[in-house]
Amino acid sequence: MTSFVETVHDGRVSTMTINRPDKLNALSPEVLSDLKAAIEETARRDEVRAAVITGTGKAFVAGADIAAMRDMDEAEARGFGALGHDVFNTLEQLRFPVIAAVNGFALGGGCELALACDFIYASTKAKFGQPEVNLGIIPGFGGTQRLPRRVGPGLARELIYSGKVIDANEALRIGLVNALFEPDQLLARAQKTAADIATKGPLAVAAAKRLIRDGVDIPLTQANKRERDAFGELFDSADQAEGMTAFLEKRAPDFKGA
């Protein structure tokens, strides 16, 4: 059965590509279901330590599928929103980091998908925006919440109220994107960063991911307590002994994720 999401597993790094170029990778219910299946299949592979998500053609994802949404009634729209949230939450909860490699348009649900990843690399040709107000709706897959957490509430308000589309340089300037690359370099650079992360202690990276992700929503004192607990717990791992012994023996560590 063909899927709208193609996954390539290359050792410790998996790359998921949204593949519906004739509709600019728009997120229909089918594409979202395929994306969830791809995420879950990747998560089941113990060897995976980092992942990349990108799109085929001139878009990363040009949004939720407008043709599929047009005739939805309220109940159907609630269900569609719940599906998008479920898929993006599943992505955000993965134990390993995910880099969005934004190769082109990341509009609406595409921008929200990138925001559900740990951080964003983009092509110099990428464009970002939350244009839902042009359609009489709002971001429905987490944009009103994740965008202000990433770029701050003032910039998020301006982007969401105006629906304006910004170019890659502007996205870099406001901190939505971590780095820009020439289009033909983007995927390789994202995969290289993923491969580099994959050499680090996987329990440590997973703990850092969890603490950063969950810490923004709780009081600082509580978040710092979680950090203290996680810091201590890591000293109960073989990887901590391996990492520090390898340093003192002047060799590369061989982390097992235990």
Helix, strand, coil percent content, the chain, rounded in steps of 5: 50, 15, 30
Per the listing, tokens 């649900």 go with: 109
Question: Looking at beta carbons only, is 135 or 206 nearer to ligand COA?
Answer: 135
Side-chain half-sphere CA neighbours of 143 within 13 A: 32
Instruction: Indicate which residue of 112, 182, 227, 249 is catalytic.
Output: 112
Range 179-214 burial, b when 16+ CB lie within 10 A, else e: ebbeeeebbebbbebbbebbebbbbbbbbebebeee
The token pair that represents 113 in the structure block: 């998908």
Give the span between the Cα atoms of 125 and 180, in whole angstroms: 9
Question: Looking at beta carbons only, is 118 or 132 nearer to ligand COA?
Answer: 132
Binding site for ligand COA (CB under 6 A): 23-24, 26, 62-67, 105, 107-108, 131-132, 135
CB of 57 to ligand COA, least distance (A): 9
**Could you tell me whether strands 98-102 and 119-123 are parallel, antiparallel, or unpaired per DSSP bridges?**
parallel
CB of 145 to ligand COA, least distance (A): 16
Question: Looking at beta carbons only, is 26 or 186 nearer to ligand COA?
Answer: 26
**Could you tell me whether strands 59-61 and 105-107 are parallel, antiparallel, or unpaired per DSSP bridges?**
parallel
Segment holding 107, helix H or strand E = strand 105-107
CB of 4 to ligand COA, least distance (A): 13
Is 40 among the residues known to form the active site?
Answer: no
CB of 141 to ligand COA, least distance (A): 9
Between helix 153-162 and helix 143-151 the angle, nearest 10°, is 140
Give the span between the Cα atoms of 139 and 187, in whole angstroms: 27
Question: Looking at beta carbons only, is 64 or 156 nearer to ligand COA?
Answer: 64
Is 6 among the residues known to form the active site?
Answer: no
Question: Looking at beta carbons only, is 131 or 142 nearer to ligand COA?
Answer: 131
CB of 103 to ligand COA, least distance (A): 13
Instruction: Indicate which residue of 132, 182, 227, 233 is catalytic.
Output: 132
What residues are labeled active site? 112, 132
